[in-house]
């Protein structure tokens, strides 16, 4: 099965908007586990989702820049697994707080959606 392409290139801005909250959430959550560079992040999400999700690069890098700008992430020089220079992204304190808030509201929403879908089955 092909991985579900989480985000199609930004030809269609509506779709980007719809998923950007989810993308941010996954980026922040993954980086809370450990600081990573861009490619590692893509691989991590792919593996963690059991190959169901693959982040489109066209969305990842703008999203990273946006989170950097909002101060939820910080970047520093680092070395990749293969020994090449790269930038390692790490969650900031305000990023961690933001993640907590978002997780709570996401869980609520998810519960809500599940309930509604369950009701519809009856």
Partner 1 sequence: MSWLMQLFSRHRHYDDLTVSINEHLAERAEELMDGGTSRVEAEQTARREFGNLGLIEQRSREVWQWTTVESLLADVRFALRQLIKSPGFTVTAVATLALGIAVNATMFSMVSAFLLPHLPGRDPQNVVVVSSVNPDASFQADTNPVSPPNYLAWGNGRRIFSAVAAENENLTGSLSGSAQPPEAISYAAVSANYFSVFGVSPQLGRAFVAGEDEQGHDHVLILSHGLWERRFSSDPSIVGRSVRLNREDYVVAGVMPANFRLLGFSPQLWTPLTLTAADGTPSGRKNRYLYMFARLAPGVTLEQARAQINILAQQAQQNFPDTESRWGGSVRTLPDFLTHNFGIGNALALIMTVVGFVLLIACANVAGLLLTRAVGRQKELAVRMSLGASRVRVVRQLVTEGLVIALLGGGVGLFLTYIGIHLVRAGLSFNEGISAVPIRLDTNVLLFAALVSLVSAIVSSVAPALKASRTAINTDLKSESRGGTSGRAHNRLRVVLVGAEIAIALFLLIGSCLLIRGVYILDHQELGFNHDHLLTAGVVLDKARYIDSSKQNQFARSLVTQMQQLPGVKGAALASNLPASGLGRVSIHIKGQQESRSNEQHTAADVVVTSDYFQVVGVSMLSGRAFNDRDDATAPRVVLVNQEFVHKYFQDHDPVGKQIQLDIADAPSAWSEIVGVVGNVKTYSLDPLNEPQVYEFYVQRPVASFSVMLRSTVDPTSLTPALRHVVAQLDSELPLLRVMSMDGVVEAQRNGNPLFSRLLATFAVLALILSAIGIYGLIAYSVGQRTHEIGIRLALGAKPSDISRMILRQGFKVAAVGLATGFTMALPLPKVFDSIFQGLVHFSAPVIYPIVLAVMLMVVFCATLGPARRATRVDATTALRNE
The site for partner 1 (CB under 8 A) is made up of: 9-10, 37-39, 42, 56-58, 61-62, 64-66, 68-69, 75, 80-82, 84-87
Beta-strand relationship, 85-91 and 73-79: antiparallel
Rounded Cα distance between 85 and 8, Å, is 29
CB of 106 to partner 1, least distance (A): 23
With b for 16 or more beta-carbon neighbours within 10 A and e for fewer, the 98-109 pattern comes to: bbeebeeeeeee
Q: Which is nearer to partner 1, 90 or 106 (CB)?
A: 90
CB of 1 to partner 1, least distance (A): 18
Q: Which is nearer to partner 1, 80 or 106 (CB)?
A: 80
CB of 12 to partner 1, least distance (A): 13
The structure tokens listed for 31 are 């980086």
CB of 53 to partner 1, least distance (A): 15
CA angle 47, 51, 56 (to 5 degrees): 90
Q: Which is nearer to partner 1, 8 or 103 (CB)?
A: 8
Q: What are phi and psi of 36, to 5 degrees?
A: -140, 165
Q: Which is nearer to partner 1, 64 or 99 (CB)?
A: 64
């Amino acid at each position: 099965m092909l991985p579900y392409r989480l985000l199609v290139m930004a030809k269609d801005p509506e779709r980007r908007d719809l998923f950007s909250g989810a993308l941010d959430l996954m980026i922040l959550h993954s980086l809370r586990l450990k600081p990573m560079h861009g490619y590692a992040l893509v691989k991590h999400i792919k593996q963690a989702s059991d190959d169901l999700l693959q982040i489109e690069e066209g969305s990842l890098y703008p999203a990273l820049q946006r989170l950097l700008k909002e101060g939820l992430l910080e970047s520093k020089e680092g070395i990749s697994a293969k020994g090449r220079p790269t930038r390692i992204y790490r969650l900031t304190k305000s990023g961690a707080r933001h993640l907590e808030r978002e997780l709570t509201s996401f869980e609520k929403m998810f519960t809500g959606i599940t309930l509604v879908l369950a009701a519809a089955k009856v």
